[in-house]
Structure 1
């Protein structure tokens, strides 16, 4: 791996960490800042959010509603460069929702396409898929955070 590819991988890993931090802070604008202005995001319920503004508004709604007491941990499962400035990333995510009608622990496998912009790497496409095998999920956010240190 070249030094440039190593830096790109580290930068993308930083974006994924930033994504979890913004989610856990329930900061819709901070979360949306990870996306390009013209990004597309298909979220876990199938809603298609078009553009950074729509992504911010959609996440503001869930951060103050159904996921207001949630904690997420995401780890890179696979990172592949499609071109030097385009990357495909598959994540392994665990979401712990403490209260409300969605209370529980969920496992998902988001797919992202990131592009290198003047501002650094940003997400231009995001698609989230809920995993059916809930038996593999971690029981608590504390366990999920502890598991993060293993990767």
Structure 2
């Protein structure tokens, strides 16, 4: 790694804090700035966006419409480095109005890259968590439960 683990972790966490802050201000340009120019973005609906300009334009419309007044919760579960300037971040998160939800309903995966000394999101995937289906699966197939939850 070009930096130490703690410095890299703090840089990645700062990136995600910038993202949630921009969302809370409904600032599509600042939100888009945390992504690389050629980023890919897959929403929990399955919509696939390619490039920062597409991410900005879609979020400008969303912040003025169905996501107006929302905030973004993001709780990092894991940061795994794949090289000196690449990491995969897994988090649980959600959008909310008022107080954050006690149990975020989505799981996000970010591929983050360091370019010119700054971390940026190169790829994003958002998945709606199906807690009931997850519990049923673990009931019938206990070995399918992630090791950290056994």
TM-score normalized with structure 1 length = 0.79
Question: What is the match of residue 118 of structure 2?
Answer: 120
Structure 2 unaligned residues grouped into runs of 5+: 133-150
Counterpart residue number, 1:31 = 31
Alpha-carbon offset, residue 119 of structure 1 = 5.0
Residue 128 (structure 2) aligned to one of 130, 134, 139: 130
Question: Would you say the 8 A contact 1:95–1:107 is kept in 2?
Answer: no
Task: Provide the secondary structure at the position in 2 that maps to 1:66.
Answer: coil
- In the TM superposition, 1:49-64 aligns within 5 A as 49-64=49-64
Name the CA distance, whole Å, in 2 between partners of 1:133 and 1:85.
34
Report how far residue 73 of structure 1 moved: 1.3
Alpha-carbon distance in structure 2 between the residues aligned to 1:41 and 1:31 = 12
Q: Contact 1:67 / 1:97 at 8 angstroms: preserved in 2?
A: no
Query: What is the alpha-carbon distance in structure 2 between the residues aligned to residue 3 and residue 39 of structure 1?
Result: 23
C-alpha distance in structure 2 between counterparts of 1:12 and 1:19, whole Å = 11
Q: Tell me the CA shift for residue 51 of structure 1.
A: 0.3
Give 1:132 shift.
2.0
36 and 3 in structure 1: CA distance in 2 versus 1, 3 angstrom threshold: closer
CA RMSD of aligned residues (A): 2.2
Using the TM superposition, give the Cα deviation of residue 97 of structure 1 relative to its aligned residue in structure 2, in angstroms.
4.3
For residues 19-56 of structure 1, give each alpha carbon's deviation from its aligned partner in whole angstroms, at most 9, with x where no partner exists: 11111111111000000000000012111110000000
Deviations 1:81-131 (A, max 9, x none): 010100000011132147xxxxxx662111000000015000000000011
Aligned length: 129
Moved over 6 A (4+): none
Q: Structure 2 length normalisation: TM-score?
A: 0.79
Question: Rg larger in 1 or in 2?
Answer: 2
C-alpha distance in 2 between matches for 1:11 and 1:53 = 24
